[in-house]
Structure 1
Amino acid sequence: MERKTIDLDQGWDYMQKGIMKLKRILEGLPETPFSSEEYMMLYTTIYNMCTQKPPHDYSQQLYDKYKEAFEEYITSTVLPSLREKHDEFMLRELVKRWANHKVMVRWLSHFFHYLDRYFIARRSLPPLNEVGLTCFRDLVYIELKDNAKDAIITLIDKEREGEQIDRSLLKNVLDIYVEIGMGQMDNYEQDFEAHLLRETGPYYSRKASNWIQEDTCLDYMLKSKECVEKERDRVSHYLHSSSKPKLVEKVQRELLVVFVTELFENENSGCRALLKDDKVEDLSLWCRLYHEIPNGLKPVANVFKQHITAEGTVLVQQAEDAAMNHAGHAVQEQVLIRKIIELHDKYTEYVTNYFLNHTLFHKALKEAFDIFCNKTVGGSSSSELLATFCDNILKKGGGDKMGDEAIEETLEKVVKLLAYISDKDLFAEFYRKKLARRLLFDRSANDDHERSILTKLKQQCGGQFTVKMERMVTDLTLARENQTSFVEYLSNNSNANPGIDLSVTVLTTGFWPSYKSSDLNLPLEMVKCVEVFKGFYETKTKHRKLTWIYSLGQCNVNGKFGQKTIELIVSTYQAATLLLFNSPDRLSYSEVMSQLNLTHDDLVRLLHSLSCAKYKILIKEPNTKTISQNDYFEFNSKFSDRMRRIKIPLPPVDERKKIVEDVDKDRRYAIDAAIVRIMKSRKVLDRQQLVSECVEQLSRMFKPDIKAIKKRMEDLISRDYLERDKENPNTFRYLA
């Protein structure tokens, strides 16, 4: 059956009835809801009018009338209702009208849905939903946007001043600015946000100008924090989320950036004053406020660095003054290290707990400690002071007042301080020297602590840093096993009897510090000991040569002074000297020298310790405080002491100079190796870049001198490792 053709006017009259019913519903007038039959009839009417054969296909006309329906409703009803209201009432009406308009768009889009599916798609026309929203934008939004914007900003200003406002109303109005852009934020940003930001600046500028005059820095910052938080709160409740960074930045600028100098330099409550008074909670607030501002923490970090540097420099100067006055020099140096550790603990806690663990403050802390941790005190480098501090803790009696946990914790902190020391190789050499004395003379309090700090040093500085030290500890373990074997050897070989109790420590050359070995003429008693041990050692290995370091030896000698016997704890050299006086009792300086085969310097130290120091085992003629080559020495048979066992120390030798010389020699090798390593991989390099890369590689262990690097480059050229480019003398080539 052929479908009856619907005329345009006839069909539109029917549609108008449906549209009128929809308008009445929107206006809140008495009206029954649309039934499914009504909805289908309206949809079918449009469908039929669009699918009739030309010239009765009214798709274009219906598309136009769809738009006209909105325009007519807006012009006749919506705009008059909005124009008669103002301020907050106008905003409420606008929200209501926008909600109604969206409902109308949704219903009419359903009625006219066939147009969307076919006609609009084929003609590439704006879809029905967009047409409906565009009508509201062009007729309502454009006329009222400025009034609405002013009303919104007025309400925001009231809220900033502490008044209660209807936040949900603002949220709904601002949603119109967003939704009217149909996916674009231009309307929201240009018609509202830009104006809000423009008003916000002067508002907070006025506030800041008053507060900075009246309040302390802390009160000012607390108010600033509250303002920033409230603006964030506004965004979360009714502004669009995209406004948050812009609005917060505007507030931060007016409150914190503009007045940063005044806040910083305030004599009583500025940043410097807070640091000086240890007001960490206030400093923490400062950091939380400024860390979101680009480069906002940089000035705070700079002041932090200056403050730590000043405090550390004062500590160093106090120790230096004590050293100049010879007031407990060694004690003051150890106190200095403890104070520096306390200082590091204090400001590390600041950075971690109060300064957001921010890298800028870690950097400031490091740079500050780099400055004063590398100063010398009383002629001692920081490397030596740190090594001595470790020695005092680790040797017997040094850490007795500290528990195991406290010692471990202190060692951990010392290793952290080492990170700031530029001459780590010098520390390693001083530490190795002191470790050797602890191990060789049984002065180490606890093997576990010795191994523990080596593990910490290895983690901090790498395996190469501790390899020799670790082998030293291992050597001592092997030496003890070796001594046990030697005792067994003596018990099993009745012919091999040294005549005296003998303990020998066998060490591996290369791992231990270099010690002076001399051709000391040993007494017969000691010669026999050496021969017996050699015989034992040859049973274990024939491929190793023993070199005897008599300077490290220690002897227990019984001295008979009249009716009393006193046990003397002396060095091998001292023992050999004393044994000369068994017969005859009196010897000249030159006789002692020829019989012992020692240098003048060594002999002066020996004879001084035995005749001029606390325990005068020998009587010197003439009776002066210094040793000369014309002196005579005689056994003091009348010597007495209330102790039955005394230790006679040798005058201390300042080993600092030799250690520094050894380190300098090692540095030359390290620089050579770095230059060759770099050139081997790069083949050709200019002078400046080679020096730069060399410094970068070596700075982990020591701060290389540029002149020293250039000198080593010249040396490598003379040894045919490098050559200069013939055309450019500042360019070097590697010679394979």
Structure 2
Amino acid sequence: MYRLFSKIPRGLDPVSSIFNQHVTSAGTALVKQAEDVASNKKADKKDVVGLQDQIFVRKVIKLHDKYLAYVNDCFMNHTLFHKALKEAFEVFCNKGVGGSSSAELLATFCDNILKKGGSEKLSDEAIEDTLEKVVKLLAYISDKDLFAEFYRKRLARRLLFDKSANYEQERSILTKLKQQCGWEFTSKMERMVTDLTLAKENQTNFEEYLGNNPNANPGIDLTVTVLTTGFWPSYRSFDLNLPVEMVKCVEVFKEFYQTKTKHRKLTWIYSLGTCNITGKFEPKTMELIVTTYQASALLLFNSSDRLSYQEIMTQLNLTDDDVVRLLHSLSCAKYKILNKEPNTKIISPTDFFEFNSKFTDKMRRIKIPLPPVDEKKKVIEDVDRDRRYAIDASIVRIMKSRRVLGHQQLVMECVEQLGHMFKPDFKAIKKRIEDLITRDYLERDGDNPNLFRYLV
């Protein structure tokens, strides 16, 4: 039966076309349903919207399972119906939902499965099966580079803050992604996982160094994670004015690191640091789990009873945005470690702050989070920048091999080269061509302006 079908594909064309329309209609209905939920005023809370995003991806996976079973069982695994299924899913899988792209939704879905305490409570076998299906869905996404950047950001947070539930599962999905998208797609992610293993070895060596050198005592317990620039997402680095208690820690680790290598420079990313500090309040002494920024601000009150917003900003050497975030978390959020004057919910440059000695809580150990920062804009900007570089490299490769080429053919070859990661916009390619001309990589033909020559 299968051979008979493969010999007369024309007879299957109408059937596969109807199948394509049916799948497209079902998928589009899912997207519309998710959009309606996202736009519903009752679902304006982030956790509710996030849960709906998880449900949406689950429904898309279920839909894919359903129609893939039809292709395999009812249509004898025929290539014509695989093609129809692929084209249908490409239509609705590249539509955004509630302001989020499908690439972001898939990356967030994976993060929720792989991190500790995620809403998806699955067995190891179920996780493995789900990740396999997510990677299959990724094949239909045109902006694979956007997925990669969102996924890398979330992988970094899982690794750096010990949020990953299982390192074997982290490696497993990277293997699946490599098989689907190629080694370049996962090379940085794989090095991140390896980097963290090396960082743990480095920490062990540091602890041995401290044990063998009693004079090199940082005074407090210190854990440093050394990462390799280039593999990890870029993070802002400010010259935070560390409290005296922390300055010695940094100096001791620098001395240790110089015993290992003198050719590498350490750049401290204080925005990723965490601290456990002891707060001596009148009701009881409590342990506070805070960020390095928050700890630096709180330690200022060891030597001052009352500080203004401007004094805190000057002493810490942080930007207005960072000072507002950390002071809001310490004086206006759930745990009011600082008293603010005036007692409002908005941080202003004219505010004053005092240590709240009467603060108490039923727990003896509390974590004080910073308000989250929306990283979506930064991710999209990074991807757009990388796309410009990728288009430039593609154009130069093509022109270097062809030497002379027409505009239309150059654009089409560029789209074909980059299509496995993203669909470059024709206007973007034209803009990059003009830029390469101004930088003397290409020149227009004197007689035909639509003809380009490669300049050696």
TM-score range, shorter chain: over 0.9
Q: Which residue in 1 is equivalent to 2:15?
A: 300
Q: What CA distance in whole angstroms lies between the structure 1 residues aligned with 2:242 and 2:376?
A: 29
2:144 is aligned with 1:395: no
Secondary structure of the 1:646 match is: strand
Choose between structure 1 and 2 for higher RCO, CA contacts under 8 A separated by at least 6 residues: 2
Are the counterparts in 2 of residues 399 and 407 from structure 1 also a CA contact under 8 Å? no
Q: Which residue in 2 is equivalent to 1:406?
A: 126
Q: Which residue in 1 is equivalent to 2:38?
A: 323
Are the counterparts in 2 of residues 621 and 633 from structure 1 also a CA contact under 8 Å? yes
2:443 is aligned with 1:443: no
Q: Which residue in 2 is equivalent to 1:513?
A: 233
Q: Which residue in 2 is equivalent to 1:336?
A: 56
Deviation per CA, 1:348-392: give whole Å up to 9, x if none: 111111111111111111111101111111111111110001100
Q: Which residue in 1 is equivalent to 2:348?
A: 628
Secondary structure of the 1:296 match is: helix
2:397 is aligned with 1:677: yes
Question: By how many angstroms is 1:735 displaced?
Answer: 1.0
Secondary structure of the 1:379 match is: coil
Q: Which residue in 2 is equivalent to 1:699?
A: 419
Are the counterparts in 2 of residues 288 and 356 from structure 1 also a CA contact under 8 Å? no
Deviation per CA, 1:543-582: give whole Å up to 9, x if none: 0000000000000111111141111110000000011111
2:350 is aligned with 1:618: no
Are the counterparts in 2 of residues 593 and 599 from structure 1 also a CA contact under 8 Å? yes
Are the counterparts in 2 of residues 423 and 701 from structure 1 also a CA contact under 8 Å? yes
Deviation per CA, 1:229-249: give whole Å up to 9, x if none: xxxxxxxxxxxxxxxxxxxxx
Give the partner amino acid of 2:226: V
Q: Which residue in 1 is equivalent to 2:328?
A: 608
Give TM-score, length-normalised by structure 2: 0.97
Are the counterparts in 1 of residues 309 and 350 from structure 2 also a CA contact under 8 Å? yes
Are the counterparts in 1 of residues 329 and 369 from structure 2 also a CA contact under 8 Å? yes
Question: By how many angstroms is 1:520 displaced?
Answer: 0.6
Secondary structure of the 1:501 match is: coil
Q: What CA distance in whole angstroms lies between the structure 1 residues aligned with 2:93 and 2:286?
A: 47
Say which of 380, 388, 410 aligns to 1:660. Answer: 380
Secondary structure of the 1:297 match is: helix
Identify unmatched segments of 5+ residues in structure 1: 1-284
Q: Which residue in 2 is equivalent to 1:559?
A: 279
Deviation per CA, 1:495-547: give whole Å up to 9, x if none: 01111100000000000000000011000000010000001101111000000
Are the counterparts in 1 of residues 283 and 360 from structure 2 also a CA contact under 8 Å? no
Question: By how many angstroms is 1:343 displaced?
Answer: 0.7
Tell me whether 484-493 or 320-329 shows the greater mean CA deviation: 320-329
Q: What CA distance in whole angstroms lies between the structure 1 residues aligned with 2:402 and 2:6?
A: 42
Question: By how many angstroms is 1:715 displaced?
Answer: 0.6
Are the counterparts in 1 of residues 9 and 80 from structure 2 also a CA contact under 8 Å? no
Q: Which residue in 2 is equivalent to 1:82?
A: none
Q: Which residue in 1 is equivalent to 2:446?
A: 726
Q: What CA distance in whole angstroms lies between the structure 1 residues aligned with 2:109 and 2:5?
A: 40
Q: Which residue in 2 is equivalent to 1:314?
A: 29
Question: By how many angstroms is 1:401 displaced?
Answer: 2.4
Tell me whether 287-296 or 648-657 shows the greater mean CA deviation: 287-296
Secondary structure of the 1:398 match is: coil
Q: What CA distance in whole angstroms lies between the structure 2 residues aligned with 1:380 and 1:621?
A: 39
Deviation per CA, 1:32-82: give whole Å up to 9, x if none: xxxxxxxxxxxxxxxxxxxxxxxxxxxxxxxxxxxxxxxxxxxxxxxxxxx
Are the counterparts in 1 of residues 116 and 164 from structure 2 also a CA contact under 8 Å? yes
Deviation per CA, 1:296-325: give whole Å up to 9, x if none: 111111111111111111111121111112
Query: Superposed, which structure 2 residues align to 1:120-519 within 5 Å?
Result: 293=8, 295-326=10-41, 327=43, 328-398=48-118, 401-519=121-239
Runs of 4 or more consecutive aligned structure 1 residues displaced over 3 Å after TM superposition: 287-294
Give the partner amino acid of 1:495: N
Deviation per CA, 1:75-111: give whole Å up to 9, x if none: xxxxxxxxxxxxxxxxxxxxxxxxxxxxxxxxxxxxx
Deviation per CA, 1:699-726: give whole Å up to 9, x if none: 1000100000000001111111111111
Q: What CA distance in whole angstroms lies between the structure 2 residues aligned with 1:630 and 1:725?
A: 63
More helix by share: 1
Identify unmatched segments of 5+ residues in structure 2: none
Q: What CA distance in whole angstroms lies between the structure 2 residues aligned with 1:331 and 1:680?
A: 49
Deviation per CA, 1:146-196: give whole Å up to 9, x if none: xxxxxxxxxxxxxxxxxxxxxxxxxxxxxxxxxxxxxxxxxxxxxxxxxxx
Q: What CA distance in whole angstroms lies between the structure 2 residues aligned with 1:551 and 1:405?
A: 36
Are the counterparts in 2 of residues 383 and 423 from structure 1 also a CA contact under 8 Å? yes
Deviation per CA, 1:196-226: give whole Å up to 9, x if none: xxxxxxxxxxxxxxxxxxxxxxxxxxxxxxx
Question: By how many angstroms is 1:397 displaced?
Answer: 2.1
Aligned length: 451
Give the partner amino acid of 1:512: W
Are the counterparts in 1 of residues 277 and 295 from structure 2 also a CA contact under 8 Å? yes
Give the partner amino acid of 2:26: E
Q: What CA distance in whole angstroms lies between the structure 1 residues aligned with 2:371 and 2:9?
A: 62
Q: Which has the larger radius of gyration?
A: 1
Question: By how many angstroms is 1:399 displaced?
Answer: 7.2
Q: What CA distance in whole angstroms lies between the structure 2 residues aligned with 1:646 and 1:319?
A: 36
State the identity %. Answer: 77
* RMSD, matched Cα: 1.4
Give the partner amino acid of 1:303: I
2:288 is aligned with 1:573: no
Secondary structure of the 2:91 match is: helix
Are the counterparts in 2 of residues 426 and 663 from structure 1 also a CA contact under 8 Å? yes
Question: By how many angstroms is 1:403 displaced?
Answer: 1.2
